Amino acid sequence: MTVAPAISIIDDDASIRAGLNNLVRSLGYIVSTFSSAAAFLQSTQLHKTCCVIADVRMPAMSGVELQSHLRSQGYKVPFIFITAVPDEATRKQALDDGAICFLTKPFDEGTLIECLNTALDQHRGETKS
């Protein structure tokens, strides 16, 4: 029996977390939600997560800062970023650091699903090597 991939959703907006949680769970994935990067870093999900879906702008530590921090610690978990305030410099930094997608709210569910499939394919490739 195959275990469904674990997806972590990190966003300081409860309604966005709830919506993403419902969508990703409906696809059959195991989902954990967090209101901050710090909450995710302190969780047991850190080592179980196959993909992170994170808001770019959050208090204390942004999603991009979280990705950079995890990369510096040797974690290669794929990231999908969502933002209500697109900024080309931030987008470039996120993608240069290995983000799979950088989506602007509101985004199409189909696009997010495509990004998630790409991220999980990448994660499977990383865990095999």
Q: What is the mean pLDDT of the chain?
A: 93
pLDDT one-digit tens code per residue, 2-36: 688 999 999 999 999 999 999 999 999 999 999 99
61 lies in some domain:
yes
38 lies in some domain:
yes
1 lies in some domain:
no
pTM reported for the whole predicted model: 0.94
pLDDT, residue 128, reads 54
The answer, yes or no, to whether residue 1 has pLDDT greater than 70, is no
Count of structural domains within the chain: 1
pLDDT, residue 44, reads 93
Taking residues 44-62, report their average pLDDT.
Answer: 94
**What CATH number is associated with residue 57?**
3.40.50.2300
Domain limits for position 94: 6-128
The answer, yes or no, to whether residue 79 has pLDDT greater than 80, is yes
Q: How far apart are CA 74 and CA 41, in angstroms?
A: 14
